[in-house]
C-alpha cells in the first residue's frame, strides 16, 4: 500500500470569481482612459496657447531667429574748395567681417587668420574694442584694407569659416594731406567717449553700422551734415548667420557735401612759402570774412588717423619739437605786439583820450609817473615829437605807452574784446584758443595778485599778459577795414543737399558803431603810411607793388629784458628769438584780401614777415584773381553759347561773314 498517496491531501482546482475580475478590469480601464483623456486635454490646451493665444509672441521670436535688421551706413558727404576742387573723398576698400557669437573658437580662428590674411595684434585689439560696443550677433570688422592677395587666400579657405565674410566699405581719403589737415581735421574710429556723447545727444542709433566719425576740424564741426542718415535691410539668415535673401530695405540717406571758402591754389602756394618754418598765415576776404587760406606749418598727414594711427607714428608726432599736431593759426597764442596799435588808436580817439593832433615827445623811453620805472621804445634814440599818424607809421612804443596809461586797463580791455581779442572768433573749428585779453579780474583770479599800472603799459603795445591767435588778428583787421562791422570768420561757403544752403553769418558779436568815420580813417591812414611812407616800417617789403597796401608790423618778445639788458639775437637760442608779425590788406581803395602772418622766432616783423605777405598778395592779386576771372568769363561765354533746348538750331555763318 502506497502510504504517500494514502495520506496526501486531496487535490482540486480553485474556484475563479470571473465577475470580480471583469469589474477590476473595467475599473482599471476607466482610470487609464480618464488619465489619457486628461493628458490629451492638457496637451491640446498647451497647443491652443502656443498656436492661438501666444501666436504673435512666438512668431516674433521665431522670426528673430531667421530675420534680422542690418544697418546700412550712409555714404559720407564730400568736401570741396570754393571753386569745386575735391578735397575729401570716399574710397571703396574691402574688410574681413566676423560674427563672434557664431564662431566656435575665436582664439584659434585668430591664429589661423594671421597666416591667411595677415591679421595683426592691432587688428585684434581694435576688434575687441568694437565688440564691447556692439550688440550680439552683430557683424564686426576684423581686418580692414584687405589686399587682392589676402582676399584670394581667404576665398580659398572660406568654407572653414562660415561666420566670416569679405565686404566692401568706404574709407575717407584726403587728397592733399598735410596742406589741408588743420582745416579739414580727420575722421577716426568711434571710441567709448564718442559713444557716450552720441547716446547723451540721442544720436547713437544713427551710427549703427558706422565705424568712423569726425574728430577734428571741419569734419567734426559739420559731422551732422556730413554723416547722413543710417538705413536698414531686413534679411533672412540661416543658422550660421549667413544672409539668404533680402526681405525689404530702407535706403540710407547720404551725407551732404560741403563747399568751403578755401582757395586750394592759394592754400598750397602759402604752404610752399612757409616750408621749413614754424608759423601761420590767415587770409580773409574782408567783404564777408570768408577764409581764403589758413596755413599752419609744420603740419602732418591726416590720412594717418583714418584707420587708427599706429603707436609709433603717434609717438613720433607727439615728440616732434616743432609741434605739428596743433594749428598755430587757431591755437597758437602769441603776444600780438604792435599789430594792435591801430585798433587801440580807434578806441583812444573814441574815448577822447587822444585826437589826431595829440603830440608827445618820444626820447626812446616812457617813464611811469612817480616811479623810476622806464619802458623802452624799440628805437633807442626815440621818434622825437610824435602825433598819432607818426606813432602808427613808425610804430612808436612810447606814444602808445602814454595812450594805454591814459585809457586804463578797464577801457583798453573792454574795447579790445570788441575787436575780438580774448574771445572765440566763431570759426567752424572747435580747436580754437581764445587766448587772453587781460583785466584786473583776470589777474586776481589767475595769479591772486592785484593789477598794477605797470601791467597796463606793456598791454598798450600788445605785450605783457596780452596774447592772441593769428585768426584773431586777422578778424580785428577785418573789423577795422569795415569801419566796425563785425563779420564772423568762416570756412563754409555752402552745404549741398536736396538744395544748396549758403552760409549765413550767425552775427555772434555786435558791430562797433560808436567811433566816428574820421577815427577809422586815421587808423587806416597810419597803416597805409606804414607801407607807403618813407619812414614806414614796412615800406621796403612793398617797393614796386602795382597795388596799394595798408599794413602793420609787430615784433613779439618771447622773454622780458631786464632794465639795462640789450637784446642780442646772435647770443640767444633760436627759440628765444622774437616772433615776426605782419597784418595787411589790399588794395587800399577797395580791399579784397587781408593777410595776417606770424613766423615763430623769425625776428623783426617788417624785415621777415612783411616780405612773405608781399609774395602772397602778389600771387593772389596779380595771378590768382586774373586766373579766376578769366575762367569764370570763359564759362559764362560757354553757357551763353549752349542751345537752350534740343530743338534750338545754331545757324551756320553766311559765306561773307567773318568768324573767329
Q: Which residues are catalytic?
A: 338
The grid coordinates of residue 50 equal 502656443
440: which DSSP letter? H
Nearest 5°: CA angle at 425, between 419 and 427? 150
The sheet carrying 231-237 orders its strands as 67-72, 231-237, 243-250
579 touches 462 (CB < 8 A): no
Specify the DSSP element, H or E, that contains 172.
strand 164-174
With CA atoms as reference, report the closest residue to 147 among 212, 189, 111, 95: 95
* Dist. CA 381–CA 6, nearest whole Å: 168
Indicate the SS3 state at residue 480.
helix
256's grid cell: 551732404
What are the cell numbers at 459?
A: 598791454
- Residue 200: how many CB atoms within 10 A of its CB? 9
Compute the CA torsion angle 382, 388, 393, 398 (nearest 10 deg): 30
Establish how many alpha carbons lie within 13 A of residue 539's alpha carbon, considering only the half-sphere containing its beta carbon: 12
Residue 572 φ then ψ, to 5°: -115, 155
Nearest residue to 541 (alpha-carbon basis) of 615, 621, 623, 619 = 615
Which residues lie across from 79 on neighbouring strands? 88, 258
Q: Is 463 exposed, middle or buried (0-12, 13-18, 19+ CB in 10 A)?
A: buried
Q: How many residues does the chain have?
A: 660
The single-letter DSSP state of residue 79 is E
Give the integer Cα–Cα distance in Å for 216 and 306. Answer: 12
State the sign of the Cα–Cα–Cα–Cα dihedral 453, 456, 458, 460.
negative
The Cα–Cα gap between 181 and 221 comes to: 14
Residues 555, 608: Cα–Cα separation, whole Å: 10
d(CA 84, CA 65): 49
For 57-139, strand residue ranges (E) read 67-72, 79-80, 86-98
Asked if residues 265 and 176 have their Cβ atoms less than 8 Å apart, the reply is no
CA atoms within 13 A on the CB side of 585: 27
Q: How far apart (Å, rounded) are the C-alpha atoms in residues 107 and 113?
A: 10
Buried b (16+ CB within 10 A) or exposed e, 36-55: eeeeeeeeeeeeeeeeeeee
- For the chain, the straight-line distance linking the first and the last C-alpha, in angstroms and rounded, comes to 163
Amino acid at each position: 500500500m502506497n502510504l504517500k498517496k494514502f495520506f496526501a491531501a486531496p487535490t482540486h482546482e480553485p474556484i475563479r470569481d470571473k465577475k470580480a475580475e471583469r469589474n477590476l478590469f473595467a475599473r482599471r480601464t476607466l482610470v487609464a482612459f480618464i488619465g489619457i483623456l486628461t493628458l490629451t486635454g492638457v496637451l491640446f490646451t498647451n497647443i491652443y496657447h502656443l498656436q492661438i493665444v501666444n501666436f504673435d509672441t512666438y512668431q516674433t521670436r521665431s522670426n528673430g531667429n531667421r530675420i534680422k535688421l542690418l544697418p546700412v551706413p550712409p555714404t559720407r558727404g564730400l568736401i570741396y574748395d570754393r571753386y569745386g576742387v575735391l578735397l575729401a573723398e570716399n574710397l571703396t576698400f574691402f574688410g574681413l567681417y566676423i560674427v563672434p557669437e557664431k564662431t566656435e573658437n575665436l582664439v584659434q580662428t585668430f591664429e589661423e587668420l594671421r597666416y591667411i590674411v595677415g591679421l595683426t595684434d592691432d587688428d585684434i585689439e581694435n576688434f575687441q574694442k568694437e565688440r564691447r560696443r556692439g550688440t550680439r550677433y552683430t557683424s564686426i570688422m576684423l581686418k580692414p584694407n584687405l589686399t587682392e592677395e589676402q582676399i584670394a587666400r581667404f576665398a580659398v579657405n572660406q568654407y572653414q569659416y562660415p561666420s566670416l565674410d569679405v565686404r566692401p566699405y568706404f574709407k575717407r581719403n584726403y587728397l592733399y594731406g598735410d596742406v589741408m589737415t588743420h582745416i579739414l581735421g580727420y575722421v577716426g574710429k568711434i571710441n567709448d567717449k564718442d559713444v557716450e556723447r552720441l547716446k547723451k545727444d540721442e544720436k547713437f542709433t544713427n551710427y549703427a553700422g558706422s565705424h568712423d566719425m569726425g574728430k577734428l576740424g571741419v569734419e567734426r564741426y559739420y559731422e551732422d551734415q556730413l554723416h547722413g542718415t543710417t538705413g536698414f535691410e531686413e534679411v533672412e539668415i540661416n543658422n550660421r548667420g549667413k544672409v539668404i535673401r533680402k526681405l525689404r530695405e530702407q535706403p540710407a540717406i547720404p551725407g551732404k557735401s560741403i563747399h568751403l571758402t578755401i582757395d586750394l591754389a592759394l592754400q598750397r602756394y602759402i604752404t610752399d612759402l612757409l616750408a621749413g618754418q614754424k608759423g601761420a598765415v590767415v587770409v580773409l576776404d574782408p567783404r564777408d570774412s570768408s577764409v581764403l587760406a589758413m596755413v599752419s606749418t609744420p603740419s602732418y598727414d591726416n590720412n594717418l588717423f583714418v584707420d587708427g594711427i599706429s603707436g609709433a607714428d603717434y609717438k613720433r608726432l607727439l615728440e616732434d619739437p616743432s609741434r605739428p599736431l596743433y594749428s598755430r593759426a587757431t591755437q597758437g597764442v602769441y603776444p600780438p605786439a604792435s599789430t594792435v596799435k591801430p585798433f587801440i588808436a580807434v578806441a583812444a580817439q573814441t574815448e577822447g583820450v587822444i585826437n589826431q593832433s595829440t603830440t608827445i615827445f618820444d626820447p626812446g623811453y616812457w617813464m611811469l609817473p612817480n616811479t623810476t620805472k622806464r619802458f623802452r621804445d624799440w628805437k633807442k634814440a626815440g621818434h622825437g615829437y610824435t602825433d598819432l599818424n607818426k606813432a602808427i607809421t613808425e610804430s612808436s612804443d612810447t606814444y602808445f605807452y602814454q595812450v594805454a596809461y591814459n585809457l586804463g586797463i578797464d577801457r583798453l580791455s573792454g574795447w579790445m574784446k570788441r575787436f575780438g581779442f580774448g574771445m572765440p572768433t566763431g570759426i567752424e573749428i572747435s580747436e580754437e584758443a581764445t587766448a587772453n585779453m587781460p583785466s584786473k579780474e583776470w589777474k586776481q583770479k589767475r595769479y591772486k595778485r592785484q593789477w598794477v599800472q605797470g601791467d597796463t603799459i606793456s598791454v598798450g603795445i600788445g605785450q605783457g599778459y596780452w596774447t592772441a591767435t593769428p585768426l584773431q588778428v586777422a578778424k580785428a583787421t577785418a573789423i577795422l577795414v569795415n569801419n566796425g562791422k563785425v563779420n564772423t570768420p568762416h570756412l563754409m561757403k555752402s552745404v549741398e543737399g536736396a538744395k544748396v544752403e549758403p552760409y549765413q553769418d550767425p552775427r555772434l558779436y555786435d558791430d562797433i558803431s560808436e567811433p566816428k568815420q574820421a577815427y577809422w580813417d586815421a587808423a587806416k591812414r597810419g597803416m597805409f603810411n606804414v607801407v607807403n611812407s618813407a619812414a614806414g616800417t614796412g615800406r621796403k617789403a612793398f617797393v614796386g607793388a602795382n597795388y596799394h597796401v595798408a599794413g602793420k608790423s609787430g615784433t613779439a618778445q618771447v622773454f622780458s629784458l631786464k632794465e639795462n639788458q640789450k637784446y642780442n639775437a646772435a647770443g640767444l637760442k633760436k627759440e628765444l628769438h622774437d616772433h615776426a608779425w605782419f597784418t595787411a590788406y589790399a588794395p587800399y581803395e577797395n580791399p579784397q584780401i587781408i593777410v595776417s602772418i606770424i613766423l615763430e622766432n623769425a625776428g623783426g616783423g617788417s624785415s621777415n614777415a612783411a616780405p612773405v605777405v608781399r609774395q602772397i598778395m602778389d600771387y593772389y592779386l596779380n595771378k590768382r584773381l586774373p586766373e579766376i576771372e578769366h575762367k569764370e568769363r570763359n564759362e559764362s561765354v560757354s553757357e551763353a553759347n549752349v542751345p537752350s533746348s534740343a530743338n534750338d538750331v545754331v545757324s551756320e555763318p553766311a559765306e561773307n561773314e567773318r568768324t573767329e
